[in-house]
Each structure stands twice: as structure tokens, then as C-alpha cells.
Chain A
Amino acid sequence: MRAYALRRLLFFVPVLLIASAVTFFAVNIIPGDPAVLRLGLEATPEEMASFRELHGLDRPITQRYGEWLWGMLRGDPGKSMMGGQSIKSELSNRFPVTLTIMFFSFVFATFLGVTFGIIAAVFQDSSFDYFVRTFSIFGLSVPSFFTLTLLMLVPAILWRYAPPFGYVPFWEDPWRATRQIIPPTFILSIGSSAMLMRLTRSSLLEVLREDYIRTARAKGLQERVVLLRHALKNATIPVLTVAGAMIAGLLGGSVILENITSLPGLGQYFFTATVQRDVNVIMALVTYSAFLVMTSHLVVDLLYGYFDPRIRYR
């Protein structure tokens, strides 16, 4: 198990290298000179030259990639090409915002998805089951940017109440922070929780038909024990896969949420960077998010081993 985890961690190195190299070269070959984008067409040739020199745009691309890589290895992703700020300090300001969004959405999605999925499976074909099935098919179909728009729209029209948007750290104003973060993250989690509900329900239904469940019931175990100790553990495995993929999905969702509510998080940072072609910022965010996604895949794979004793990693 430990050897397996180590080998997977080693595998991060080539994947991150290839992913970052592909991104770096692709972002740099696009037409459009960052110097012109930053300084405008009126800039003098000297200004352009000094801007290029400052950001190393006059050096060959392979050398620049090497320098970028060396910077990343020392933990310094460089400076923003557009504003000139240190990316590291921007990240440390913005990361808490995105982390809060992702944390709450993830908790809502897993809590609602798993509990509603379990109840729907246990009471199959009850009215609650129909509710869960209807909710989940709608939840998968309605885009988050539309539900988030409705979140701003409906209270404003019905009760003339505008949910406060923005970001204050929780310890500064807990009540305001709660009102700001809970409604949008809850809405954002609808899509993911719908997916989890469907999956939990169907995978639990499948497990409940297995022979060993009948055996467990036949030897007189309480239904609660059968459900929680025998069925649920095995039904968790497909659910885990989706929960892992949800991290990547919520990163994307965070871009949309931050765009709508103007939250100063990483998603907004990435969005502005792609529009302005801020290569250094793009590179830093792509690399870190790739690392995050790969880590979540690894965690899911290791959890498989815990939940399914048939899976042995060597």
C-alpha cells in the first residue's frame, strides 16, 4: 500500500512536467504580443523592449520554460505580466476564498447526495424516492450559472431582498460571512449532489440484492446493521469515484460562481488571466490545479483499498 502510494506520487512528476510543458508552449505560441496587450499600441519601442526584457520574452521559449520550472521548484511562480504583482501573494490572498467555496459545496453535495440517495434506495418507489429521482434529473440538467442567477433574481423580485455577495473572512463578521457563503455554495452543489444521489441510490439498490445481504438478514441482524455495516461499505465504491471527480468539477464551478458574485478567488484570477493572456498566472494556476486533481484521484484510489478488501495495491 505504501509502496503503491509512493509510486503514484512519483508518477505525478512526469504528468505535471508534460501538462505544464504543453500548456506553456501552447500559451506562448498564440498570436498576440503580451507587450502590446499590456502597454497598448501607442507604447514606444523602448518601452516594449524593456517590458519584454523584464518578463524574459526576448529569450528562447525553451529557456523560459526552464526558468519557470526552476522558479516553481523553489516555490516561486513569478510575477503577473499584467499587473506586476507577485503571484505567490495573490494566491495566498485568493486561495482561502476558493477553498471556502469548494469546502462548503463539497460538504453540501456529499451530505445531501449520500443521505438522500440512501433513503431513496431503502424506500424504493416511495414518494420520497420519486422526489429524489425527479430532483436529481433536474439537478443534472439545469446549469449552475442559471440557478445562481435565479438565486439573485427570485428573492429580489419576490421579497426585495438582495443576498449579500462578496467575501469577508468568517472571523471578522460571522453572520455576514454565513449569509454570503451558504446560499451560493448550496446552489452550486445542486449538480454534484444530484449526481451523487443517483449513484448512491443505484449502487445501494444493486448491493441490497446481493446474496450476502440476504445472509446477513437471515442470521437475524438488525436492518440498521445490515444497511450500515454490510451494504453501505460496498455501495460506497462507485460513489467514491464520483466524489473524487467532483473536486475537478467544483473547481470549474468555482470559476462560474466567482464570476457571478464577483468573489476575489482563484477562479476569477484564472478567468482574468486567460482573457488577458497572463502566461505566468495561467501557468501557476494550471499546475496547482492539476496537482490538486491528481491528489484527489490518488486519495480516491487509496480509499478504494479501504472500502473494498478485494482491492490490494502492491
Chain B
Amino acid sequence: MTTLELPSARRASALYSVASAAGRWPAYILKHSRRKPLGAFGAMLVGLFVVVAVFSPMIAPYNARESVDASLKSPDWSHLLGTDAMGQDVLSRVLVGSQISLAVAFSVTIINVTMSTLLGLLAGYFQGPVDYIIQRSGEVWSAFPGLIALMLIVSILGTPSTEGGNLLTIAWDMRNLIFAFSLGAVFGGSRVVRGVTISLKQAEYATAARALGASDMRIILRHLLPNVLPYVIVTATAGLGVVILGEASLSFLGLGVAPGTPSWGQDLSGRNRQFFTSAWWIALAPGTAISLTVLGFNLFGDALRDILDPRLRGSGKGKT
């Protein structure tokens, strides 16, 4: 009888079913892919993106940072996506460019999930001075328009540059950018968690746990955390695409990564722009890469939201 079930219990059971399915995950994935074909398609795009980003230094046919042929060659067998204004191989640059997007998006999401959960739970549960400070800082933050705040922070901290390498070194090189995006994400995320925590701590099971003499820590960790997590996962997945778009926009403006770095946003700007009408492939390749990746995250995020929490279906996304 779903009508008698508490909504929070239903969410928790959805999460537990995900966790308990770890042992029989192939069947579990198959079940949900059949029910959500678009979500499965999105997951495939995301998977492809991760694989490309991890292995791009190995699969890229040329060095993405060097001029390897005449400039502005149209696509042929030696350069599947042609060459750009500098004579660099466009395919290699698109493949390697995925590294920055992945490194930034995943780092921001990891920071966002841990910090939002921690701050949101503590603020929502204790509602003391910490809560007050978080709330007011969030209000000050929300007065800044998103892209303007990002541009400001990056211009203060300095535009990061990277020599490439593995994802961890790239993430470290991109720390200014990651900090800028995390700040906004945590303010938004912790507010969601705080709101859910406040409503959940009045639920019967929390009162029951308290009546049984459970400590605050135990109530937070054992009773509130599992019920809050679906919200965190859903907002974080939705945020991944937003961060990728934001990083690309900043790099497009020339503030995200230093000039010359292979990055999707960067390759659509700068010197390349004046050649777009004669060499359309330089524009089309990175633009399509960003669009498909974000599409993958959006489709996957929508499916995940439907599976983890039907009540959040179709709700708005964070600011871009």
C-alpha cells in the first residue's frame, strides 16, 4: 500500500534497492535501461566521454598541442576532422579537450556532494549560528549573476594553465576553476540538503530514534543521511552538465584555460574564429562534443531522478 507509506521511507527504499543491487548489477541495469531507453543512451554517452577522457593521450592520433600539418586542411583520411588555423589536428584536440571538462566537472561534483551534504545536514539539524551564516552567505552569493561571479573569481585567482598529463594533475592545475564552480555549487546544494533535513528531522522515525535515546550523530548518520542522499545524487548529476557548460563558456571567453590549451570552449574562440566560414569543421567538432556530452548527462540525470525520486520529476535545474 503505497498510500500508507511515508514518502521518506519510499525514497530510502529506492536508494537501498540501488545499493543492494550492487551484487546483481547487470540485471538491474538491464531492467532500468529497458524502462528508460533515453537514460540508457545518456549513460552510454557519459561512458564514452569518460573513456575518451581517460585514454585520450593514448588514442589521439597526433600531439594536440603541436602543429602537425598545413593549417586549415579539410577532413581527409590523415586528419579525420581536418586541421585548425595553427595546423593542429582537430580530432586530437577534441579528444584531449575532454580531459579538462571531465577533470573539472568530476572534481566539482565530488566537492559539491561532500560539502553540501555535510553543511546541509549540520545546518538543517542544528539550525544554529552556522546555519545562519550559511544561509546569509548563500543569499549574498545568489545576488551575483552566475557567469559574472565565475568570471570575477577566475580573474582574481588567475586563469589556470595545464601542460596536460593524467586527470589528477589536470584537476590540480585547474584548481582555481574548480574552486570557482564549487563555491556556487555548494551554496546551492547545501540549501537543498538543509531544506530536506529540516522537514525530515520532524518525521516520526527521527522522533522515534530520539525517544529511544539515539545521539544526534546517530540520528544524522543512520536516519537522515540515507534519506537525504537521493536528493544530493540527483542535484549533483544535474549539476555535472551545468559545470561542463560553464567551463566551456569561460574557456570560450578566454578566462577558463590559458590560450592554446586543448579545451572545447577554447577551440571555438580566439584565432580560430576568423576561419570558421571557410573551415567549418574547426567549429563543428568541439561544439558537437560539448553538446553531446551535456546531452548525455542531462538524459542520464533525468532517468536517475525518475528512478531515485519520482517526486522531483521535471523540476528546474541549477543556474548556468
Contacts and interface: CB of A to CB of B under 8 A. Distances in A.
Main SS class of interface, B: helix
Contacts, number: 151
B314 A157 contact: no
Contacts of B283: 146, 149-150, 153
Given A145-B252, A238-B316, A255-B148, A18 B245 contact: no
B140 A19 contact: yes
Nearest to A149: B283
A252 B280 contact: no
B147 interface: yes
Nearest to A23: B152
Contact of B287 (A19, A146, A274): A146
Nearest to A140: B298
B280 A157 contact: yes
Contact of A252 (B139, B140, B146, B276): B146
A28 to B, nearest CB: 10
Given A19-B143, A286-B144, A242 B277 contact: no
Contact of A251 (B140, B145, B155, B317): B145
Contacts of A137: 295, 298-299, 302
Nearest to A239: B316
Contacts of B71: none
A27 B155 CA distance: 8
A249 interface: yes
A199 B145 contact: no
A30 interface: yes
Nearest to B276: A153
Interface in A114-162: 137-138, 140-146, 149-150, 152-153, 156-157
Contacts of A199: 314-316
Given A152-B276, A195-B316, A270-B148, A145 B268 contact: yes
A144 B139 CA distance: 27
Contact of B151 (A205, A247, A274): A274
A270 B147 CA distance: 11
Interface string A272-284: 0011010000100
B277 A153 contact: yes
B169 interface: no
Contacts of A293: 142-145
A249 B320 contact: yes
B291 interface: yes
A256 interface: yes
**Residue in B158, B245, B269 whose Cβ sees the most chain A Cβ within 10 Å:** B245
Contacts of A256: 147, 249, 252-253
A30 B157 CA distance: 7
A141 B277 contact: no
B265 interface: yes
A252 B248 CA distance: 13
B188 to A, nearest CB: 11
A203 B268 CA distance: 36
Contacts of A271: 151, 253
A242 B320 CA distance: 12
Interface residues of B, number: 47
Given A238-B315, A277-B155, A141 B280 contact: no
Contacts of A255: 147-148, 151, 253
A88 to B, nearest CB: 20
A282 B152 contact: yes
Interface in A1-32: 15-16, 18-19, 22-23, 26-27, 30
A252 B320 contact: yes
Interface in B30-85: none
Interface string A90-114: 0000000000000000000000000
Nearest to A290: B143
A248 interface: yes
B146 A248 contact: yes
Contacts of A150: 283, 287
B271 interface: no
**Residue in A271, A285, A297 whose Cβ sees the most chain B Cβ within 10 Å:** A271
Give 9 nearest A-B pairs by CB, closest first.
A252-B147, A202-B314, A146-B287, A141-B295, A248-B145, A274-B155, A141-B294, A290-B143, A251-B145
Given A201-B314, A202-B315, A259-B253, 19 more contacts: A19-B144, A22-B140, A23-B152, A26-B156, A137-B302, A143-B248, A143-B287, A143-B291, A146-B268, A157-B277, A247-B145, A259-B252, A270-B151, A274-B151, A274-B152, A274-B155, A274-B255, A275-B155, A293-B144
30 contacts: A23-B152, A27-B156, A30-B155, A30-B156, A137-B302, A140-B241, A140-B294, A140-B317, A141-B291, A141-B298, A142-B290, A143-B290, A143-B294, A145-B265, A146-B268, A146-B291, A149-B276, A153-B276, A153-B283, A195-B317, A202-B313, A242-B316, A251-B147, A255-B148, A256-B249, A259-B253, A270-B151, A274-B152, A289-B145, A294-B143
Interface of A: 15-16, 18-19, 22-23, 26-27, 30, 137-138, 140-146, 149-150, 152-153, 156-157, 191, 195, 198-199, 201-203, 205, 238, 241-242, 245, 247-249, 251-253, 255-256, 259, 270-271, 274-275, 277, 282, 285-286, 289-290, 293-294, 297
